């Protein structure tokens, strides 16, 4: 049997029957850990949903509003830049939590024997993939990679820095009203197991 598997199929391209065997084995392995995996999943969901709420509502929004009212005020600009760079750091918690959710979710899916007949799960997955994933990818870029304000400041390019701040501000302005209800809807679906 092993000889057959090795000679007939590459491991990177498993056949449906082999896939079913692999998933069954994984389910047996993970089954006893279901509630522990769920604990990790839900804990990091809480971190993902709420870790930036306070900073966003009480630091980022007020300082940006102050800057919009006084666009030339050097003190306000300095405060805005400081808050934004701290926010880039603070959002690390959210961005560590997100991949952990994306790993533990499918583990629960396999361990619990869930399938596409669960409406709540399919809708939840659609929202995760179509709404949260693209927004988070952009957010990773703006906060930690090319768009990270500290990185741009280090280049000494003041225009690029200002453009980076503007871009991130518009990103927050347009993504927040989308991602906040989407996240709550995902949690609602997961908890109520709504069917329609």
Q: Which residues bind ligand HEM (CB under 6 A)?
A: 38, 41-42, 45, 101-102, 105-106, 108-109, 112, 114, 125, 128, 132, 183, 186-187, 190-191
Cβ 170 to ligand HEM shortest distance, Å: 23
Q: In whole angstroms, how close is the CB of 192 to ligand HEM at the nearest point?
A: 8
| Least separation in angstroms between CB 74 and ligand HEM | 40
Q: Which is nearer to ligand HEM, 79 or 138 (CB)?
A: 138
DSSP category for residue 33: G
Which of 77/102 has CB closer to ligand HEM? 102
**From the CB of 184, what's the least distance to ligand HEM, in Å?**
9
Provide the minimum distance between the beta carbon of 38 and ligand HEM in the complex, in angstroms, as a whole number. Answer: 6
Instruction: Give residue number: closest CB to ligand HEM.
Output: 105
Cα–Cα dist 124/114, whole Å = 13
As a whole number of angstroms, the longest Cα–Cα distance in the chain is: 75
CA-wise closest residue to 97 among 140, 147, 36: 140
What ranges in the chain are assigned the alpha helix state H? Answer: 2-8, 16-30, 34-50, 53-55, 61-69, 74-90, 92-111, 119-127, 133-144, 149-155, 158-192
* Residue placing its CB nearer to ligand HEM in the complex, 56 or 120: 120
Which one, 103 or 160, has the nearer CB to ligand HEM? 103
Helix, strand or coil, per DSSP, at residue 71: coil
Q: Is 47 exposed, middle or buried (0-12, 13-18, 19+ CB in 10 A)?
A: middle
């Amino acid at each position: 049997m092993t000889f057959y598997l090795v000679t007939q199929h590459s491991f990177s391209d498993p056949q449906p029957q082999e896939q079913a065997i692999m998933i069954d084995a994984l389910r047996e392995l993970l089954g006893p850990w279901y509630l522990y995996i769920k604990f990790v999943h839900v804990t990091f969901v809480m971190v993902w949903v709420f870790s930036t709420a306070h900073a966003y509502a009480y630091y980022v929004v007020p300082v940006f509003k102050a800057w919009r009212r006084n666009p030339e005020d050097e003190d306000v600009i300095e405060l805005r830049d400081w808050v934004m760079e701290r926010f880039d750091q603070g959002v690390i918690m959210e961005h560590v939590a997100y991949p952990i959710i994306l790993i533990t979710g499918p583990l629960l899916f396999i361990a619990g024997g869930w399938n596409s007949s669960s409406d709540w799960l399919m809708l939840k997955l659609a929202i995760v993939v179509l709404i949260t994933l693209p927004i988070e990818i952009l957010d990773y870029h703006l906060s930690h990679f090319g768009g990270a304000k500290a990185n741009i400041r280090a280049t000494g390019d003041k225009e690029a820095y200002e453009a980076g701040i503007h871009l991130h501000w518009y990103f927050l302005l347009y993504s927040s009203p989308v991602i906040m209800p989407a996240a709550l809807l995902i949690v609602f679906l997961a908890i109520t197991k709504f069917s329609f």
